[in-house]
Structure 1
Amino acid sequence: MEECWIGSIAFFSPFPSFIIISSIFYEMIMTIIFVIAAVIAVFSLLIIPHELGHFWTAKGCGMQVDKFSLGLGPKLVGFKKGETEYSISLFPFGGFVKIRGMESGERDTPRGFHKQPLRNRILVLSAGSIANYLVAILLFSIIFMIGFPTPELTEAVIGEVGEGSPAESASLLPGDKILRVNGEKIEGWEEMALAIRKNEEEFLSLEVQRKDKILTLQVKPVFDPELGRKIIGVTPPTVFIRYNPIAALIKGGKTTFFLTGAILSALGGMIVGKVPAQFTGPVGVTQFIVENARMGLIPLLSFAVSLTASLSVGLGLFNLFPIPALDGGRLFFLLVEKIRGRALDLEKEELVHYIGFIILISLSLLIVYQDVLRWAGTGG
């Protein structure tokens, strides 16, 4: 007979403990597999379109492409077709396209990068970010077509009551409609939240419509330090909104460019020393997926698609910044070349990009380190 402990209760049985442990182990393994698959899928949807953007435009412009790699580090698999070697590497957090003529000693290659007209070189360097933006618009459009839950705020109707909340203690129920707060007429959810927030008394007097009855209930709000205001522990109901394909595409485009503005605003804050708490790297993205892995398949897919679209905007925008080693840094050198009217010293340009690459890798490692600290609960 086997003794098995679950919590603080011991029981004896030859089989149940094995079944329970196996079930827990199976659930844990499946969650790990699902998270790994989700992380790889998210980063693949970021990297593959970006690199394909460079690859297809380079090929379309007649440039010689020596290598197309998804992932960084040791090569896992690969093959050569025509003049191009294709490979998948170990770490799915990057990739690259090697175009002949971008390194010193290759400038005079007949089909090399620097032998192309300026407009073709600009197109090739911009194509990765353009691809990321197109993917973001597509993914946001899919979300709007499939539909998503949206809070219904036109009336002060309660959707859910938090367990152990002041609202539960006051016997408020889902479906209750708040008519008045401390005698003040309430038209919608935002008015109710404002009335609760500005209340200075210990208790709130709520006039509530419950089906065909009018009730008066007393609720004692509590201060939520995360929100920085008083709450009673209720949330609004949600409605599922879907858009037709054209409207979804328009809304997907608007969302993408609104997010671009938000990212630029956050980066502006970083310049003056206000680093957003949401600023994260690959480990942080993995953490987001892990934290949401138990939401259920449909909500998790919606979350993953939205996260991927948002990250795609960030990747596309960041790569256009005039930072050495990034596409934007190379575009900047093309602009300088256009202004000067002659080609730059490729060896000096390579040195600048190399220094920029070292700085970017260092910053990436710092972000990963901060992510790990935040995840472990010892920093961030």
Structure 2
Amino acid sequence: METLIMVGQLLLGLSILVGLHELGHLLTAKMFGMRVEKFSIGFPPKIAGFQWGETEYSIGAIPLGGFVKISGMVDESMDTEQMAAEPQPWEFRSKPAWQRLIVMLGGIIVNVITGIVIFVFLVYNNGETYFSRDQIIENGIVAYEYGESIGLQTGDKILDINGEPYNSITDLTSGAALLSEDGYYTVDRDGETLQIAIPRGFINTFNSEEAFSKFVGIRFPFEVGVVDKGSGAEAAGIEVGDKILAVNGQEVYYFDEMQSTLKGLVNKEAEIIRQQGSAIDTLMIPVTEDARIGIAVNPLIEPVKRNYAFGEAISKGTSKAFGVVIVNAKALGKMFTGDVSPKNVSGPIGMAKIYGASWDWVKFWSITGLISMILAFMNLLPIPALDGGHVMFLLYEMVSGRAPSDKFLENAQKVGMVILLALMVFAIGNDILKFFTGS
């Protein structure tokens, strides 16, 4: 069932984005009087379709893209017979270069608009919930495996990133931070100010959602939230709302302090000083093999909740949308320098895993908005067979006054299709490798 949910979300998200992208091409083509022969979500073989006017609308069996076939255009159909005939007034090639440019940008523009609209409404409807910089400076962080690997320590108070204040704990692992040149965190460690360098290529560590939980978290004071049935804590009389003041003579204020002390008492009895209301007493509780005494806790700090007016949401959502493009552009550039591993490139399996095994509409639209912006960026790359390749040749024509020959465009299209096929094989190969290695 979990696999079906992941696949279902991926197919729905891609169908929406591909459909809107191709609709952008279709509407702009028809606006300039071009004949659109086919509109397809998914690649052949065709599952279903219908004819409406001059255009056949269909759904293909391979749901990893789509296409619009415009008369008189060198595209993935490689319809050389049509291109050999005399140009007709309704054909793509008969229209002015500026009109053809708008048609080729139509899908990208729609994807950008879609991404912005999704982010704006997510910000407006849900606001933002996060642990703030002020809370981190007040309480400090818990440094987990990846945080410790670069020199962070539990209790550090992170003051800034690259000399600039940040807003929330998620900014610590943002693309802007991890992709920066000579990046660093400034921390207050027991009153001493230090700089902790962000190693080149550190972003490669964060190749899964689980990886982010191994970096840092916020320290928090706590109280007992749940007492496990049949546990040592229940037998000793621990109740919801109690506070643990010390373990084996070690004063504890933050939850990580209690966890750390209990790890040294596995399969032993711990002396627990408990506060219940105004009363304080001492209890002896056995510690299990997984360093627990049988309680779950409630943090005593609340994340910041910020809501936005619609005007503010437009600004914030637009900034978030274009932030995705900037980060991906930086990451692509750093692939060529070796700072970002090509292994981070994901195909459909990786995308499905990002959506997750449970259906959460906020997460679904967040990821769909992100993918919409990435699709716009990737489609703008100057690779033949992508929209960006067509844009590149059209700009050449507009600047030079000479259009590339149909033969050149056909060969460029073939080269582009080989490049795209190779990239797809590489991405799916990465997915398969990650699936078997768990990385």
Letter matched to residue 55 of structure 2: T
1:266-314: CA deviation from partner (whole Å, max 9, x where unpaired): 011011123346431211001222xx324xx5xx222221111111111
Mapped to 1, the partners of 2:190 and 2:46 lie a distance apart of 59
Aligned residue for 1:143?
Answer: 122
Mapped to 1, the partners of 2:333 and 2:113 lie a distance apart of 25
Letter matched to residue 252 of structure 2: L
Mapped to 2, the partners of 1:331 and 1:189 lie a distance apart of 39
For the pair 1:288 / 2:354, whether they are aligned, the reply is yes
Matched-pair contact (CA < 8 Å) for 1:160–1:235: no
Question: 1:273 and 1:244, CA in 2 relative to 1: closer, same or farther beyond 3 A?
Answer: same
Aligned residue for 2:274?
Answer: none
Match for residue 81 of structure 1 among 52, 55, 59: 52
SS in 2 for 1:325: coil
TM-score (norm 2): 0.61
Matched-pair contact (CA < 8 Å) for 1:153–1:236: no
What is the CA-CA distance between 1:366 and the residue it aligns to? 1.1
1:224-266: CA deviation from partner (whole Å, max 9, x where unpaired): xxxxxxxxx9896423332222211111111112221111110
User: In the TM superposition, what are the counterparts of 1:186-225 in structure 2 within 5 Å?
Assistant: 194-195=188-189, 217=252, 219=257
TM-score (norm 1): 0.70
The percentage of counterpart residues that share the same residue type is 32
SS in 2 for 1:306: helix
Aligned residue for 1:228?
Answer: none
Mapped to 2, the partners of 1:109 and 1:197 lie a distance apart of 77
Mapped to 1, the partners of 2:190 and 2:345 lie a distance apart of 32
Matched-pair contact (CA < 8 Å) for 2:120–2:313: yes
1:83-111: CA deviation from partner (whole Å, max 9, x where unpaired): 11111001211000000011332561221
SS in 1 for 2:43: strand
For the pair 1:126 / 2:161, whether they are aligned, the reply is no
Q: Which moved more, 1:149-158 or 1:35-44?
A: 149-158
User: In the TM superposition, what are the counterparts of 1:20-35 in structure 2 within 5 Å?
Assistant: 29=1, 31-35=2-6
Aligned residue for 2:89?
Answer: 110
1:324-376: CA deviation from partner (whole Å, max 9, x where unpaired): 11111111111222233233211221111111111211111111111111022
Question: 1:88 and 1:196, CA in 2 relative to 1: closer, same or farther beyond 3 A?
Answer: farther
Mapped to 1, the partners of 2:72 and 2:102 lie a distance apart of 16
For the pair 1:375 / 2:435, whether they are aligned, the reply is yes
1:169-210: CA deviation from partner (whole Å, max 9, x where unpaired): xxxxxxxxxxxx79xxxxx998998538989xxxxxx99799
- Uncovered stretches (5+) of structure 1, i.e. residues with no partner: 1-28, 163-180, 183-187, 200-205, 223-232
Mapped to 2, the partners of 1:127 and 1:76 lie a distance apart of 26
Question: 1:323 and 1:86, CA in 2 relative to 1: closer, same or farther beyond 3 A?
Answer: same
Mapped to 2, the partners of 1:73 and 1:318 lie a distance apart of 22
Question: 1:75 and 1:214, CA in 2 relative to 1: closer, same or farther beyond 3 A?
Answer: closer
Matched-pair contact (CA < 8 Å) for 1:284–1:371: yes
Match for residue 320 of structure 1 among 380, 388, 398: 380
Question: 1:207 and 1:94, CA in 2 relative to 1: closer, same or farther beyond 3 A?
Answer: closer
Aligned length, in residue pairs: 304
Matched-pair contact (CA < 8 Å) for 1:52–1:128: yes
Letter matched to residue 319 of structure 1: N
Letter matched to residue 349 of structure 1: L
Letter matched to residue 371 of structure 2: L
Letter matched to residue 154 of structure 1: D
